[in-house]
Chains A and B, each alone.
Chain A
Amino acid sequence: MDLHNVLDFPILSLSIFLPSLGALFIWLFVRGDDAVRWSALAVSVATFLVTLPLALQFDTTTAHMQFEEFHRWIPAFNINYQLGVDGISMPFILLTSLLTVICIISAWECIRTRVKEYMLAFLVLETTLIGVFSALDAVLFYFFWEAMLIPMYLIIGVWGGKNRVYATIKFFLYTLAGSVLMLVALLAMYFKAGHTFSMLDFMDYPFDFTWQFWIWIAFFIAFAVKVPMWPVHTWLPDAHTEAPTAGSVILAGILLKMGAYGFLRFSLPMLPDASQYFVPFVVALSLIAIIYISLVAMMQQDMKRLIAYSSIAHMGFVTLGTFMFTQPAVEGAIIGMISHGFVAAALFLCVGVMYDRLHTREIADYGGVVNVMPVFAAVMMVFCMANVALPGASAFIGEIMVLIGTFDASSVAQAQLGMVSSKWIAIGAATSVVLSACYTLWMYKRVIMGDLTKDTVKGMPDMNMREFGYFVPLIMLVVWLGLYPLPVLDVMHESVAHLIAQATTSKLDAAAALAQHMPVQQLAVH
């Protein structure tokens, strides 16, 4: 097997297992809350540094998988420990390792009980998340995808708010029930594609339409729950509201992206014909997410709930862009995800900063915060503007690219949409610009602006250096990505072009040819 790895070093494995090994070390040898905090921070920073070469050494001229690793894991079922990243997955790995550092810093003071378990849960979570984005074997992918549930269940359940038990069990069961369908689909694909679980083989194998149809549905349920798409989004507001701040950050920043990443990695390249067939369905759900969920967001009294609904609306943009099969739309969707990773994370951190002082998330309990926390008000302003997708912020790039790509949708997508021109869809999606401004700025006005009328708010001290410290990199990234997104676009360009080629090339002819020439053993379904 020819492995494409410029470093000749298992850097992906190191990125995956360094957090867990660090967690093991902390669990066994580190005593005392402060020592635990510092060592967890050291481990997460080290992991971030380890992931940096992925970006620095990345070859932007190819869509081939890079930094590949291959070891036989369970030969009986041809399951392999196969890793590799391309321009689509690599940015998410960096996003994960960066946000984990920020999560650990943000928990410094607000997590006072069971600090050690908290840090361990986050480090283990990081392992599973990086694993999801670097796995090239479907079972390995599923392995990390499901293992993620364990630390997340504990994070929400142990350190969450009042209603945490309900929220975390709902989160766990929703996600689990969604992903079991994916497992069935993977097992069926294993036999159909000739005893392989390699995701690259699945992309090459010509599944006929019936197969694509059912497998697509199974995948869709798994990914749609994770994204989440309307109408299976109801776990998210609960989970977000009850999760501790850092839990919300990782949930909005990374976990939601796993679903959209699934569409990009599984549905589109493996099942192109079914993906095209379902374009109207996905577009309809995305528009509902964009418009209806934005309206729902406007009515929220709880800041975290509001941002949670805003996340669903933004993810609607991502799914819309993904299923337009054009270069700008798909790249816009990915940029949108990365940007949302920064912006939503930062907004949750902002709420966290206020929550640490007043222990309430109700919008009505605040007002006039700018008078006592001017620096904080300015920081939050930046991220609110970014959430509105103001030009100059990263979200703008994502949204405008999705809109352009949708306006000028590919012929395959337009063919499926029939009489409805994709231009109308773009116009519908563009209402989000207005709606997101409404709910974000209205919240900002009610919380930050106005006169100081409440005594409790009067006593709020401004941010300390630690808090300010974790906003700085986020502000820099949001603005950098908003002004000069080219380096990131360069990274994904070849991979996205390759993906679009896969997604717009029908597998049906090859499937028919295969069925004619090679009537291989068929999997009888009773």
Chain B
Amino acid sequence: MANVTFPFPFPEHLIALLPEMVVAVMAMFLLLFDLFIPKERKVLTAWLATATAIVAGVASLQVMGAGTMVAFYGMFVLDPFAVFSKVLICAGTALGIILSIDYMKDEANVGEYYVLMLFAMLGMMLMVSANNFITMYLGLELMALSVYVLVGYQRDTLRSSEAALKYFILGSLSSGMLLYGVTFLYGVSGSFDFKLIGDALADGGGSARAATLLGLVFVVAGLAFKVSMAPFHMWTPDAYEGAPTPITAFMSVAPKVAGFVIFIRILVDALPAVQQEAEMILIWMAVLTMAIGNLAAIAQRNIKRMLAYSTIGHVGFVMLGLIAGTSEGYAGILVYLSIYLFMTMGAFAIIILMRREGIQGELLDDFAGLSRARPGYALAMGLLLFSLAGIPFLGGFWAKYAVFIAAVQAGHVYLVLYALLFSAVGAFYYIRVVKYIYFDEARVAFNFNDSAVMQATVVVMTLVIVMLGLYPDPLMGLCASAVAGLI
């Protein structure tokens, strides 16, 4: 049990939930507190929200202390795997909030925006600790509902509202599919608990095999929606393009972490009996996801849309870790997602900066000539893009390496070959952006005013990516120990 002591009697179960409680209390406090803050000082809310995210991340690390905790009769689990993902989610949220400060300055009611981000984070933290379909669904919906609102936060603009509506309708449908699948599994096993379902289905479902497989299919489909695997990716480009840019950054990182983590938990704990079928479904979905993501990105002129498809492509690569189905594969997924977080946040920070007097700054053309006007940002964006393309000495190379080697070890050589060919295709649209930045002349002046916070974010993200590229060993070690107890 944890080595945390309290001056008053404290229910043991709640200790495991302490980080989540901090977030929940702070989020509700901020909702009230924000009312008393004048509009020009809303930045205070943002910084308090950032602090909350950071405290939650640190608290997750602290609370776990010596070992794994299971609370509420198996509903909630706090193991190294959950803690690692929580730290990632908190980091993603904190960065998302930081990126929002300048972007959302002129919006009305900006306080609730940060509170919603905290609630989304709370949902994801619950999700990655879920050991039970009910807890999982609770977290999932808390996250999803918050993010729907965040996507449509610029409600005066048509595309933001449209994006939110599309996302909401498709997202609800996917939640429905997920629940439908869960009912099958409940019907077969009589439980919502991952481990108990796994035990009950140890014989592959026995006479109820058809129902088990239906459950698998619907659960996979529902989760595939959340992490935008093809063919359930349709909402992604519209939602990414329409959402406020910091939310796009946030969405392309944190929910993906939560989605993949819960995916792994369900596959490992609840559905090991139908692993072969799951693998088959995932292989074909990965084949489709990589192709759609990387090919469709080539056709995009809007960088947010392009990165939406690029996210789909990256999800396809991450899926190789799921398909491998080994602890190396799952560790690879964590490596990938960690590195992806930094690359994406850095890239979006620069995209946010590109919004300058009168232009949205989202078209590839808007990047033309950046290297002359702002060589520092140009270098950072160039490095981040090469990293996204998976070129070494940058972190993105090791992200791909970690999942690919796991997939090769599991025997999926052809799939890795396919993935590598698509990563070469994918390199095209990343280096095309570099072309705009470095080879073209500026058409619009670069008179944007960047705050110190944004500068620092860009610098830190780029440095992290370069450092991880040169010395990825510590991260790989952390990820390996995070998945150690999983299988």
Contact = CB atoms under 8 A, between A and B. Distances in A.
Interface of A: 73-77, 114, 117, 139, 142-144, 146-147, 149-150, 153-154, 157-158, 164-165, 168-169, 172-173, 176-177, 180-181, 183-184, 187-188, 190-191, 523-526
B434 to A, nearest CB: 7
Contacts of B405: 77, 187, 190
B395 to A, nearest CB: 13
The 8 tightest CB contacts between A and B, nearest first, are A180-B420, A177-B424, A187-B408, A524-B411, A143-B392, A74-B473, A157-B439, A176-B424
Interface stretch (B35-43, B246-254, B425-433): B425-433
A31 to B, nearest CB: 13
B287 interface: no
B146 to A, nearest CB: 36
A150 B383 CA distance: 9
B414 A526 contact: yes
Contacts of A188: 408, 413
Contacts of A144: 392
A191 B411 CA distance: 10
Interface in B418-444: 420-421, 423-424, 427-428, 431-432, 434-435, 438-439
B409 A184 contact: no
A525 B397 contact: no
Contacts of B471: 73
B417 A157 contact: no
30 contacts: A73-B471, A73-B473, A76-B476, A76-B477, A77-B405, A77-B476, A114-B371, A117-B371, A139-B401, A143-B393, A146-B397, A149-B391, A154-B382, A154-B438, A157-B438, A164-B439, A168-B435, A169-B428, A169-B435, A172-B427, A172-B431, A180-B421, A184-B404, A184-B417, A187-B405, A187-B408, A190-B405, A191-B408, A526-B411, A526-B412
A153 B417 contact: no
Contact of B414 (A172, A187, A191, A525): A525
Interface of B: 371, 375, 382, 386, 391-393, 397, 401, 404-405, 408-409, 411-414, 416-417, 420-421, 423-424, 427-428, 431-432, 434-435, 438-439, 471-473, 476-477, 480
Contacts of A154: 382, 434, 438
A76 B473 contact: yes
B440 to A, nearest CB: 9
Nearest to A189: B408
B479 to A, nearest CB: 9
Nearest to A525: B413
Contact of A191 (B404, B409, B476, B480): B409
B391 A158 contact: no
**A173, A187, A190 — which one has the most chain B CB atoms within 10 A of its CB?**
A187
A173 B294 CA distance: 14
Contacts, number: 95
A180 B423 contact: yes
A165 B412 CA distance: 36
B27 to A, nearest CB: 38
A124 to B, nearest CB: 9
Nearest to A153: B431
B424 A146 contact: no
A173 B132 CA distance: 46
A508 B67 CA distance: 51
**B392, B416, B476 — which one has the most chain A CB atoms within 10 A of its CB?**
B392
Given A73-B473, A173-B427, A181-B420, 20 more contacts: A77-B405, A139-B401, A143-B392, A143-B393, A143-B397, A150-B386, A153-B434, A157-B438, A164-B439, A169-B432, A177-B424, A180-B421, A181-B417, A187-B404, A188-B408, A188-B413, A190-B405, A190-B408, A191-B409, A523-B409
A141 to B, nearest CB: 11
Contacts of B404: 183-184, 187
A168 B438 CA distance: 12
A172 B404 CA distance: 22
B392 A147 contact: yes
A416 B382 CA distance: 48
Contacts of B480: 76
A30 B213 CA distance: 65
**B382, B423, B431, B476 — which one has the most chain A CB atoms within 10 A of its CB?**
B431
B473 A75 contact: yes
Contacts of A525: 411, 413-414
A526 B414 CA distance: 8
